[in-house]
Structure 1
Amino acid sequence: MSNPLLNIPLLPPFTQLQPEQVEPAIAKLIGDCQGQLQRGLENPGWESTLQSLEQVQDQLNRAFSPISHLNSVLSGEWRAPYEAALAQVTAYWTEQGQNRELYEVYQQLAASPEFVSWPQPQKKSVELGLRDFELSGVGLEGEARERFAANSKRLAELSSQFANNVLDATNAWTWHTEDKADLTGLPETAIAAAKSAANTKGKNGWLITLEGPSYLAVMTHAENRELRRLVHTAFVSRASEVGPNAGEFDNSGVMESILALRAEQAQLLGMANYAELSLASKMAPDCEGVLEFLNDLAKRAKPAAEREMAELRLFASEEYKLEELQPWDIAWVAEKLKQQRYAISQEELRPYFPYAKVLEGLFAVVEKLFGVAVQEDTTVETWHKDVQFFWLYRNGERIAGFYLDAFAREKKRGGAWMDTVATRRQGEEGLQLPIAYLVCNFSPAVGDMPSLLTHYEVTTLFHEFGHGLHHMLTQIAIAAVSGINGVAWDAVEMPSQFLENWCWQPEAIAMISSHYQTGEPLPAELLEKMLAAKNFQSAMFTVRQLEFAIFDFRLHASEEVMETQKIQQLMSEVRTEVAVVPVAKENRFQHGFSHIFAGGYAAGYYSYKWAEVLSADAFSLFEEKGIFDSATGESFLHSILEQGGSRDALDLFVEFRGRKPDVDALLRHSGIEQLELNISPA
């Protein structure tokens, strides 16, 4: 029986993929890449070396993509083969990153007289390649070279282990009751989901889990304060040495090892710390500039956050006789205050945002902005019955496609993300279309009740689709700078945050909302309340994001050995400086901080705020011209989305906006216009 991973088509045949196919396929494909590299080095040149290598490496990438993806969305039997394949792939890329003969080909191409007249994407791919060789230790000798390679392999293993521990800890804890009164206050959608979760486990009654929809419903709505305490404690102590599953999935040692290895990688490359290494491929100029940006924003946002927290405490005392707010009270009291002040809640809005309508409206918004039509294709194989597949068309021509896995389920990694199936590139068989995965964790339909989204979940869907558009609408056909490839990490969040803005525009809201039973539009009164409440506790949200960003950056800028106790100490120090909400003694946020320990955001979590400056300022042009102004939409498409990583992010922004970024739009959108920041991504 042939192995489908050896000749993976544009759309993976998910129903044919089996875990036992992984290791032999990846070994064979890596062998093909190594053989092609040797042939390419015998006859060095752009086409004979770089393009021919891109062709075989694309086969490897497109085989590894569904393996990695299935590990994230199904876990279980895919975990071991994924980890084995990850080790093989990491070793291959590390070896190539240190291949001096290939490095010399890049150098020769960059130094050739014809290089200056090359197309920009081609030149940029060589320039980025040279940078990446240097950051991969191509200049290292002997033991240092071997050590760098061994560290790279071990870091990949540890990142996977960190993510596994978080997922296992999330799945390990549940709370069961057969008394519905325990769930007083929870919305009917959440109660139905808890009933379904219990049934799935063969139990009567209701089951609360730590999956996002269940956790948030309890923390925001449960009148049962003890239940809120139990769920909060279990959630914030996941994968740590404390809490209900203390030590069982503990990430303490994993974090220590990751930080030590990252620090050593930076030192081997002659850098002071890992933060410096991280910034070598980002927009931000240096460590001082990042910390100045974050600290200045924190210093100016914290007074507003303290006022918001004081209001919350006063309200809790006067209305609920809660003289001391505990961490598990914050979201619940905030929801009560929001309802009193604006007479609105996410649950009141939910019936007006049925998933199908939101999706239809999202596609309509994108079509008006960028001239792109989206059509579902129900014939495409997927990995789960709830997964959908869509094609994108422009002027009647198929240009891209994406899978959408929208709903939470057991063994699926939490959160939301976009990942690549295939990259747009010019290959031997012609132009390869870009294909994406879009993954969310919304509450699924239960019985006759369709999936109904909170407005927060609506913005999450728009956010991830913004990432998807960046990948799918590219016009670049060289893999290294196509789509999100080659884009500075602190600019990569710009298109995703940018698209979120339409979730707050009345004209767009009319396109994405209607009552799931009656089809009636969102009433004007509710819309006005929703918009009025947009910036409710926005300063508290801002300082929370800054708390994570400052912690991450200082953690990776430290030249100390960061043991678990010191990591916790740093977290506490940053909270003292920035945070305004109380923290449970069991809180081990860092043990579940997958963005920096299992994702690409190490010394880069600041990117969310950095890119928010760009996205808010970009959207301000639509505010001036009209939110569906076709010329402005075309300009954003051509200057940002189509260009991928072929040009520097700042240059592309200036081309679109006509000037460097200005922070004013971000502050205005956040409702904290009075702040005056002296720093910008420029």
Structure 2
Amino acid sequence: MLNPLLDTGGLPRFRDLQPEHALPALRELISAHRQKLAALLSAETPLDFDSLIKPLEEMQHELRSAFSPVTHLQSVLEDPGWRDAYNAALPLLTEHDAEISQNKALFDAYQQVAAALPPDASNTQRTLIQHALRDFRLGGVALDDEAKAEYREIRQQLASLQAGFEQNVQDSTDNWHLYVADEKRLTGLPESVIARARQAATDLGKSGFRMPLDFPTWQAVATHAADRELRATFYKAWATRASDQAKDPQWDNSNNINRILALRHRLAELVGFNNFGQFSLATKMAGDTGEVIGFLRELAKKTRPAAKREIQDLEALAGRPVEAWDVSYWLEKLKQEKFAVSNELLREYFPVDRVKKGLFALATRLYGVSLKRNDAVQTWHPSVRYYEVHDDNGDIVGGFYTDLFARAGKRNGAWIDECIVRKNLAGENVRPIGYLVCNFSPPNDAGVSLLTHTDVVTLFHEFGHMLHHLLTRVDYPALAGINGVPWDAVELPSQFMENFAWHKDVLTSASGHHETGEPLPDEMFNQLLKSRHCGAALAMLRQIEFALFDFRLHTEFDPEQPTEPLAVLAEVRDEVALVQHPEFNRFPQSFSHIFAGGYAAGYYSYKWAEVLAADAFSAFEESGVFDAGTARRFRQEILEVGGSRDFMQAFVAFRGRKPTLEALLKQSGINIAA
């Protein structure tokens, strides 16, 4: 029987997939690809784009499609078998990737193809080859054999350490819970959170309330719990995950962090960079490390006065200095007092199915696509849904899965990932498929999950990424969707979409009271809109803090005298933060974005891309938020081009000029003249 992971001709067969399928499938594919590559390079006839590049694109696409379910399932299922399969596969794939990137004969062949490109070759083809040649150099193709071996070994170690980092965070999070006997301690929490905690205790034959550390519970406690001690307890648990200060320190990431930083620095040195920050920028929009640091510090300088006023407002309302575990709680109180906005009242108007309906209607209005649920498609969990995306002719553009609710064993956070990347080579049109994953509160006994407005914004954000993946018109997988897009621009479509979650027409369509179906009342929307900037400056400073910490950590690392990450974080906080954190805070130990994800020396990308997104949305505000011409231009110049075009050129083609910082400050309600 064919290994289901090798059946890459359609959607993954999730009902048939088992962890033991992973290694045999990947070994078989890699072996076959090695043979194909050897045959290509030994061909007697000169290689050209069609005979070299296209077959390699086919092979990479096949391998990615086979591995995608393995990567995905180990993130969303409480099944140690999938984690073991993923961890076992990483060395195999890392070695194969290094073989490709350090293959001098293949590099030479690419150079020959580049030199012989005909005048009528497309810009996409030229860009694909340019990116590949750059990646060969970053992958160590020019190194001697000894250095190549060291490079490959570092890549192997990093792959293992980064996977271990993420898994430690998940295990540490899942391991923590708090039993609460007295329901009075839960005053202020949403009834859905209380009901879940009560049921969790009952399921274990206990009375009282068993409260986990998943994101919906942590967020609810931080925002709504009147019991300050309860907030402080949850804050400490969240801020010490996977650290020496955690309830169970067996998952401490401290050594992982130090080893990851040292290995990244050495990797950068091997290929000619002074530090990993420089290495990271080789594939980004930002020109050099000084430009990134300057950008963040300028943004901090312009934001800090507004953030100070916000802190003063919170402390005036609280009647005392606010600690780290007080900020979200008093921000919620401030919204209620100044704007009569309550997250709990708003939740009643945002059942998840209604929000999705409104979000999909927005995609139709902007881009002419329609989304249809298909329950015949196999999934990995009963709560997962699959949607087909159709163009205005009714043809299928692509599809995506939604996995929206928190559960044990599932990674925290929200993200999208590629299941299948668009490919249209030799007449075979493979449509893009994606995964959209969130961690919202699970449905109650009536099957209803109510979202906060923050959750709504999160869903819009991730859907923006998904549209970027789905609406691409690029035929080559290496440049389709988000592939080949500079990491400091990849957040533009997602942050752009967040703006629609604050628009009256959109929220009217995306809301409906869970009992009456009544859309969000005008008065509540008006108050919500007024509250948009409440805490925005503090939130901005928080992101700048994370970005500066990340970038300084990677650019200033000295292997002779390694700096303690907590010391760097303390310096950054002294420079930009207004909220003081206690000594036990171990934020770096759970900072998966930079130690396990793709944001190493790149977390600044969120703010960098937000400048682009705010400026892009201002074009919609100028022409009319639903203006068909503006939406069509945004789709054509931004969403469809993937990595096939210089991103600044693409932005200018849409906007008519380069972006400015002012649009972001205005969108955030930060008046630098105040």
State whether structure 2 residue 277 is matched by structure 1 residue 309: no
Task: Give the drift of 1:313.
Answer: 1.4
- 1:259 aligned to which of 239, 261, 272: 261
Name the CA distance, whole Å, in 2 between partners of 1:346 and 1:355. 15
Distance 1:163 1:19, change over 3 A: same
In structure 2, what is the equivalent of residue 412 of structure 1? Answer: 410
Distance 1:562 1:598, change over 3 A: farther
Q: How do residues 278-677 of structure 1 correspond to structure 2 at under 5 angstroms?
A: 278-317=280-319, 323-394=320-391, 395-427=393-425, 430-448=428-446, 450-561=448-559, 566-674=564-672
Structure 1 contact 358–513 (Cα < 8 Å) conserved: yes
Name the CA distance, whole Å, in 2 between partners of 1:490 and 1:327. 29
Structure 2 contact 492–613 (Cα < 8 Å) conserved: yes
Q: What is the identity, as a one-letter code, of the residue corresponding to 1:284?
A: A
Structure 2 contact 94–159 (Cα < 8 Å) conserved: yes
- 2:52 aligned to which of 34, 49, 52: 49
Name the CA distance, whole Å, in 1 between partners of 2:427 and 2:185. 61
Task: Give the drift of 1:460.
Answer: 0.5
Cα shift readout 1:21-57 (whole Å, capped 9, x = no counterpart): 1111111111111111111112333222221122222
Q: Which runs of 5+ in 2 are unaligned?
A: none
Name the CA distance, whole Å, in 2 between partners of 1:272 and 1:338. 47
Task: Give the drift of 1:606.
Answer: 0.4
Cα shift readout 1:156-196 (whole Å, capped 9, x = no counterpart): 11100000000000001000123222211111122122223
Task: Give the drift of 1:560.
Answer: 1.6
Distance 1:536 1:139, change over 3 A: same
Q: What is the identity, as a one-letter code, of the residue corresponding to 1:29?
A: L
Structure 2 contact 425–476 (Cα < 8 Å) conserved: no
Cα shift readout 1:171-225 (whole Å, capped 9, x = no counterpart): 0100012322221111112212222333444543322111110001111111222
Distance 1:562 1:176, change over 3 A: farther
Structure 1 contact 256–562 (Cα < 8 Å) conserved: no
Structure 2 contact 509–519 (Cα < 8 Å) conserved: no
In structure 2, what is the equivalent of residue 268 of structure 1? Answer: 270
- 2:221 aligned to which of 218, 230, 238: 218
Name the CA distance, whole Å, in 1 between partners of 2:447 and 2:50. 56
Distance 1:89 1:201, change over 3 A: farther
Structure 2 contact 487–602 (Cα < 8 Å) conserved: yes
Task: Give the drift of 1:2.
Answer: 2.9
Cα shift readout 1:459-484 (whole Å, capped 9, x = no counterpart): 10011110011010001111111111
Name the CA distance, whole Å, in 1 between partners of 2:672 and 2:336. 26
Q: What is the identity, as a one-letter code, of the residue corresponding to 2:158?
A: L
How many percent of aligned residue pairs carry the same amino acid? 46
Name the CA distance, whole Å, in 1 between partners of 2:512 and 2:598. 37
State whether structure 2 residue 82 is matched by structure 1 residue 78: yes
In structure 2, what is the equivalent of residue 235 of structure 1? Answer: 238
Task: Give the drift of 1:154.
Answer: 0.8
In structure 1, what is the equivalent of residue 167 of structure 2? Answer: 164
Structure 2 contact 557–563 (Cα < 8 Å) conserved: no
State whether structure 2 residue 106 is matched by structure 1 residue 117: no
Structure 1 contact 135–269 (Cα < 8 Å) conserved: yes
Name the CA distance, whole Å, in 2 between partners of 1:502 and 1:586. 39
Cα shift readout 1:137-166 (whole Å, capped 9, x = no counterpart): 100002211101110111111100000000
Structure 2 contact 548–604 (Cα < 8 Å) conserved: yes
Distance 1:675 1:440, change over 3 A: farther
Q: What is the identity, as a one-letter code, of the residue corresponding to 2:360?
A: F
Task: Give the drift of 1:673.
Answer: 3.3
Structure 1 contact 493–608 (Cα < 8 Å) conserved: yes
Cα shift readout 1:478-516 (whole Å, capped 9, x = no counterpart): 111111110010000000001111111111111111111
The alignment covers a number of residue pairs equal to 669
Cα shift readout 1:71-114 (whole Å, capped 9, x = no counterpart): 00014221111111111111100111000111111111111151
Task: Give the drift of 1:449.
Answer: 5.4
Name the CA distance, whole Å, in 2 between partners of 1:18 and 1:449. 29
Cα shift readout 1:202-252 (whole Å, capped 9, x = no counterpart): 54332211111000111111122221111111110000111322x221000
Name the CA distance, whole Å, in 1 between partners of 2:607 and 2:261. 23
Per the alignment, in what secondary structure is the counterpart of residue 405 of structure 1?
Answer: strand
Distance 1:336 1:22, change over 3 A: same
Name the CA distance, whole Å, in 1 between partners of 2:139 and 2:548. 26
Name the CA distance, whole Å, in 1 between partners of 2:257 and 2:503. 42
Q: What is the identity, as a one-letter code, of the residue corresponding to 1:382?
A: T
Name the CA distance, whole Å, in 2 between partners of 1:500 and 1:7. 37
Structure 1 contact 178–206 (Cα < 8 Å) conserved: yes
State whether structure 2 residue 150 is matched by structure 1 residue 147: yes
Q: What is the identity, as a one-letter code, of the residue corresponding to 2:26?
A: I
Task: Give the drift of 1:343.
Answer: 1.3
Name the CA distance, whole Å, in 2 between partners of 1:39 and 1:94. 19
Name the CA distance, whole Å, in 2 between partners of 1:63 and 1:132. 23
Task: Give the drift of 1:663.
Answer: 1.7
Per the alignment, in what secondary structure is the counterpart of residue 392 of structure 1?
Answer: strand
Structure 2 contact 314–334 (Cα < 8 Å) conserved: yes
Name the CA distance, whole Å, in 2 between partners of 1:520 and 1:451. 17
Name the CA distance, whole Å, in 1 between partners of 2:258 and 2:580. 26
Per the alignment, in what secondary structure is the counterpart of residue 352 of structure 1?
Answer: coil
Name the CA distance, whole Å, in 2 between partners of 1:197 and 1:615. 41
Name the CA distance, whole Å, in 2 between partners of 1:231 and 1:201. 22
Q: What is the identity, as a one-letter code, of the residue corresponding to 1:388?
A: R
State whether structure 2 residue 135 is matched by structure 1 residue 132: yes
Per the alignment, in what secondary structure is the counterpart of residue 390 of structure 1?
Answer: strand
Structure 1 contact 194–214 (Cα < 8 Å) conserved: no
Q: What is the identity, as a one-letter code, of the residue corresponding to 1:164?
A: Q
Structure 1 contact 353–512 (Cα < 8 Å) conserved: yes
Structure 2 contact 403–438 (Cα < 8 Å) conserved: yes
Structure 1 contact 278–603 (Cα < 8 Å) conserved: yes
Per the alignment, in what secondary structure is the counterpart of residue 327 of structure 1?
Answer: coil
Structure 2 contact 48–116 (Cα < 8 Å) conserved: no
In structure 2, what is the equivalent of residue 18 of structure 1? Answer: 18
Q: What is the identity, as a one-letter code, of the residue corresponding to 2:269?
A: Q
Per the alignment, in what secondary structure is the counterpart of residue 402 of structure 1?
Answer: strand
Per the alignment, in what secondary structure is the counterpart of residue 146 of structure 1?
Answer: helix
- 1:93 aligned to which of 93, 97, 121: 97
Name the CA distance, whole Å, in 1 between partners of 2:334 and 2:662. 28
Q: 161-170 vs 500-509, which deviates more? A: 500-509
Structure 2 contact 261–557 (Cα < 8 Å) conserved: no
Per the alignment, in what secondary structure is the counterpart of residue 533 of structure 1?
Answer: helix
Q: What is the identity, as a one-letter code, of the residue corresponding to 1:334?
A: L
Task: Give the drift of 1:429.
Answer: 6.9
Q: What is the identity, as a one-letter code, of the residue corresponding to 1:316?
A: A
Task: Give the drift of 1:521.
Answer: 1.6
In structure 2, what is the equivalent of residue 679 of structure 1? Answer: none
In structure 2, what is the equivalent of residue 183 of structure 1? Answer: 186
Name the CA distance, whole Å, in 2 between partners of 1:482 and 1:30. 23
Q: 388-397 vs 332-341, which deviates more? A: 332-341
State whether structure 2 residue 201 is matched by structure 1 residue 198: yes
Distance 1:594 1:200, change over 3 A: farther
Q: What is the identity, as a one-letter code, of the residue corresponding to 2:534?
A: F
